[in-house]
């Protein structure tokens, strides 16, 4: 197993995420919840993708949830919106490419 130091902690390097089903159950559940609230916030169906440490495979139990989508969104307003319902730390990242992404079902 390969470890490296990132954000003041040793992280296990699991490799890049290939498919959504490879995530641990707690992460799958939280990403699905985030997608539900993004749809409510935007009032339409959107494609949402896993990004950040969960995508690159070096997440830990305290990692935030980085997502991207191909819609403009006011990140600050969305963070305030979702925190009214559930305590999940979300960051919205720009979508660079759908090819190098894993979609949240």
- Closest among 39, 33, 9 to 85, alpha carbons compared: 33
Query: Given this model, what pLDDT does residue 9 score?
Result: 78
| C-alpha neighbours within 13 Å on the C-beta side of residue 47 | 10
Mean pLDDT of 62-89: 92
- Element (DSSP H or E) covering residue 6: strand 3-6
Q: What confidence category does residue 73 fall into, taking pLDDT thresholds of 50, 70 and 90?
A: very high
Would you say residue 7 has pLDDT above 80? no
Query: Given this model, what pLDDT does residue 67 score?
Result: 96
**Greatest CA separation for the chain:** 43
Query: Given this model, what pLDDT does residue 38 score?
Result: 96
Neighbours of 94 (CB within 10 A): 9
Are 47 and 69 in contact, with CB atoms under 8 Å apart?
yes
Dist. CA 51–CA 38, nearest whole Å:
15
């Amino acid at each position: 197993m390969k470890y490296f130091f990132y954000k003041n902690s040793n992280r296990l390097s699991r490799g890049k995420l290939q498919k959504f089903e490879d995530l641990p159950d707690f992460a799958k559940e939280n990403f699905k919840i985030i997608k539900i609230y993004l749809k409510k916030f935007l009032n339409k169906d959107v494609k949402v993708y896993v990004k950040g440490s969960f995508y690159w495979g070096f997440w830990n139990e305290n990692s935030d949830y980085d997502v991207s989508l191909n819609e403009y969104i006011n990140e600050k307003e969305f963070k305030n919106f979702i925190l009214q319902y559930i305590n999940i730390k979300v960051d919205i990242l720009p979508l660079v490419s759908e090819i190098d992404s894993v979609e949240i079902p």
